[in-house]
Homo-oligomer: A and B are copies of this chain.
Amino acid sequence: MTNEDEVRWLDADQQDIWRSYLEGTARFVEALESIHAAELPLSLGEYGLLVKLSEQPDRTLRMSALADGLVVSRSRLSHTVARMEERGLVYRCAASGDRRGVNCRLTDAGYAALVDAAPGHVRAVRRLMVDVLEPEEFEVLGRVMAKVAAAGRAATEATGTPKGRTDC
């Protein structure tokens, strides 16, 4: 399984690309998170959570769906939502139908924070990514990362315990 003879190493060009990817993602999130921390009322993670909620019909989503959508563990989401609930950004209530379920709902204050943060967020995303690329480059990036997302999803479902799953 760890037999070295079978390994197809990356050639020099592939290594360069790989390192560009690693550095690019690292610098990008570093810059975006620091803009959120310095100028906006929500961290990048909180912003993403509120965006997801705001897109739902009743600004409401099941905890599990939210965790899957944000690609975080259920445990982490529980803790995060608990903190955001204390700040009045969201609140939890029982889900109808399945008595195990819990809904997470965006409050008016949460929506207001989202509206407040959105312009700065979009400006930052443009400055750090969208506007530094040619339109075609940006499009390819989207196609490419959709493929990568699918591969990751497949790998996570197939083998290891995804995130915070007790089953298997």
A70 and B163 CA atoms in complex are apart in Å by 25
Q: B155, A119: Cβ atoms under 8 Å? A: no
Q: B122, A7: Cβ atoms under 8 Å? A: yes
Q: B152, A27: Cβ atoms under 8 Å? A: yes
Interface residues of A, Cβ cutoff 8 Å to B: 2-4, 6-10, 13-14, 16-18, 20-28, 30-31, 34-35, 37-38, 48, 70-71, 116, 118-120, 122-123, 125-130, 132-133, 137-153, 155-156, 159-163
Task: Report the copy number of this chain in the oligomer.
Answer: 2
The minimal Cβ–Cβ distance linking A36 to chain B, given in whole angstroms, is: 10
A152 and B30 CA atoms in complex are apart in Å by 8
Closest 8 CB pairs of A and B: A24-B145, A27-B152, A17-B142, A26-B71, A24-B149, A31-B152, A20-B146, A31-B155
